[in-house]
């Protein structure tokens, strides 16, 4: 039996037996590492690089999906590994903050600000700078993950933020109304969809305006109802939301 047929036979057996599947993953670990290295540009380190674990899982997925009538197994496994690693890299990119906690930024006049972490630490003299930095990182990561479940990223929120005072006021009215009628926020969390019709009617604003800023509104309502105390107080620094709207009671 040739090598190709031998692999195909082992894959078919592994599809029926989890132990054989595990054995196949272990035996082809050099192949998995090689495909991961192609993606990373270096050899992955076991126990350190998440990419290797993802590639192993993708190899197992390829075992379950394999059909000999559609070609050889190893090219299929290579595609699965590459696609899963691309998905992972995209998710990681979405979890990065729009403004780095460690990098200096510019204010509206183009003047350089201190890094955000330093600013936060300075505004919390009762807390160690490292504690503030870590707490902020945790909130941002949690918010990014939550927004992702609604199909929204930090970049989406920044791009979708109202640019005109009149539009901003319309959004503020809608947010205020939703906070006073929690059933609307509960509907958003349950269905993943913003109840635009009820929100526009209750707040007495145009639905079209809310539709144009849907992602921004989704983010703001989730932030107001899921903790995120640090982000709520400094939202304008992270996604461009004006301070007067970022304050918990100001909206």
| CATH code for position 43 | 1.10.1740.10
pLDDT at 102: 47
- 232 domain residue, yes or no: yes
Residue 149 belongs to a domain: yes
Say if residue 240 is in the same domain as residue 178: yes
User: Is 214 part of a structural domain of the chain?
Assistant: yes
Do 125 and 209 reside in the same domain of the chain? Answer: yes
pLDDT value of position 31 = 95
Q: Which residues pair with 106 in a beta bridge?
A: 112
Domain that holds residue 49: 3-94
Residue 107 lies in a domain: no
Of the candidates 94, 126, 154, which is a domain's last residue? Answer: 94
Q: What is the mean pLDDT of each run of 10 residues along the chain (251 residues)?
A: 70 92 93 93 84 91 90 92 85 49 46 51 53 72 82 77 83 88 87 90 92 89 74 50 42 42
Q: Are 32 and 55 in contact (CB under 8 A)?
A: yes
**130 with 29, same domain?**
no
DSSP 151: T
Query: Do 1 and 9 form a contact (C-beta atoms < 8 A)?
Result: yes
Based on the fold, state whether residues 126 and 242 are members of the same structural domain: yes
Q: Is the pTM of this model over 0.85?
A: no
Asked if the structure places residue 203 within a domain, the reply is yes
Instruction: Let me know if residue 110 belongs to a domain.
Output: no
- Does residue 103 form part of some domain? no
Three-state DSSP at 205 gives coil
């Amino acid at each position: 039996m040739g090598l190709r047929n031998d692999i195909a036979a082992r894959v078919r057996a592994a599809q029926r037996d989890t132990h054989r599947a595990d054995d196949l993953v272990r035996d082809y670990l050099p192949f998995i590492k090689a495909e991961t290295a192609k993606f990373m540009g270096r050899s992955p380190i076991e126990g350190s690089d998440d990419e290797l674990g993802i590639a192993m899982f993708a190899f197992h997925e390829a075992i379950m999906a394999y059909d000999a009538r559609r070609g050889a197994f190893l090219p299929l496994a290579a595609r699965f590994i590459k696609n899963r690693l691309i998905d992972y890299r995209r998710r990681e990119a979405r979890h990065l903050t729009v403004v780095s906690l460690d990098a200096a930024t510019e204010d509206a006049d183009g003047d350089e600000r201190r890094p955000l972490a330093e600013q936060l630490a300075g505004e919390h003299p009762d807390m160690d700078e490292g504690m503030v930095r870590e707490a902020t990182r945790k909130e941002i990561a949690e918010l990014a993950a939550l927004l992702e479940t609604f199909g929204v990223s930090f970049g989406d929120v920044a791009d979708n933020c109202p640019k005109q005072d009149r539009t901003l006021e319309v959004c503020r009215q809608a947010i205020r109304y939703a906070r006073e009628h929690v059933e609307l926020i509960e509907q958003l969390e349950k269905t993943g969809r913003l109840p635009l019709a009820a929100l526009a009617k209750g707040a007495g604003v145009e639905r079209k305006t809310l539709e144009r800023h849907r992602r921004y509104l989704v983010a703001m309502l989730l932030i107001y109802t899921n903790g995120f105390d640090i982000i709520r107080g400094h939202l304008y620094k992270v996604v461009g939301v004006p301070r007067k709207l970022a304050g918990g009671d100001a909206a």
